[in-house]
Structures are given as C-alpha cells and as structure tokens.
Amino acid sequence: MTPPLNGESMPKAIRKLKTEVKRQRATGQPLTPRQKRELAALAAMPDHQIDTSDIPELPPNAWKDAICGRFCRPLKQAVSMRLDADVVVWLKKRGKNYQTRANNILRQRMLDESKRA
C-alpha cells in the first residue's frame, strides 16, 4: 500500500488546486454552510487521520488499463515550439483546435512508448 498523500508530499501546484476547488452538489445546488464546514474540516485534516475503512482497497493491477485524461483534464502548460511549416499546415487544415490535435498526437506517442518500456 502506498503512503497517503498529505500537504507536504504533494507538489505545490496540486496543493493549490486542492484548496481552490469550488464544491457543489451533483444537482448544482450550492453547499449548505454545514456542508462547507465539514468539507473545510476534512480538507484541513491530514490524510492519515481520515477514516477510509468503508472503502475497499484496490488490487495492485486496478490501474493497469487506466487512461489519463478520460475523466479528468491534465494540467496544461503553455510552451513555445518551433515546428516545420508543413506540419503546422497539416494540423490546421482540419479546422480549429489544431493545438489540441497536436497534444493528442504527442500524448498517444508518449503512451505507446511508455507501454513498450
């Protein structure tokens, strides 16, 4: 079993996101003041003190077929790249979102290579 994450072991960007998340019920209704207090108390508590006894532990291979980005969006980082002009034309000829297409192509290549390693 991996050690629980706490505020000190998380990267700074993730800790910041964890504290900035706006919480709402699935119905879209705002949380009650009581619910907000309970969530704030839980967020302030170290992970090892949170009772997870009612949650079954996953087997080691539970994440082997997981796909990053399917149900969540990975953090994006703005970069500047110099690409060949014909590559840019090829990406743009299918319309808008050429940067997303380039990201998807690179992600697929990354995943393919990581499976081979």
What's the pTM?
A: 0.43
Rounded to an integer, the average pLDDT of 70-82 is: 84
Mean pLDDT computed over 58-83: 83
User: Which of residues 70 and 103 earns the better pLDDT score?
Assistant: 103
User: Which of 5-14, 61-70, 104-113 has the highest average model confidence (pLDDT)?
Assistant: 104-113
Q: What percent of the chain has a predicted confidence (pLDDT) above 70?
A: 75
DSSP letters, the chain, are -PPPP-TTTS-HHHHHHHHH---B-TTSPBPPHHHHHHHHHHHHS-GGGS--TTSPPPPTTTTTT--TTSSS-PPP--------HHHHHHHHTT-S-HHHHHHHHHHHHHHHHHHH-
pLDDT for res 22: 54
Q: What is the pLDDT of residue 110?
A: 92
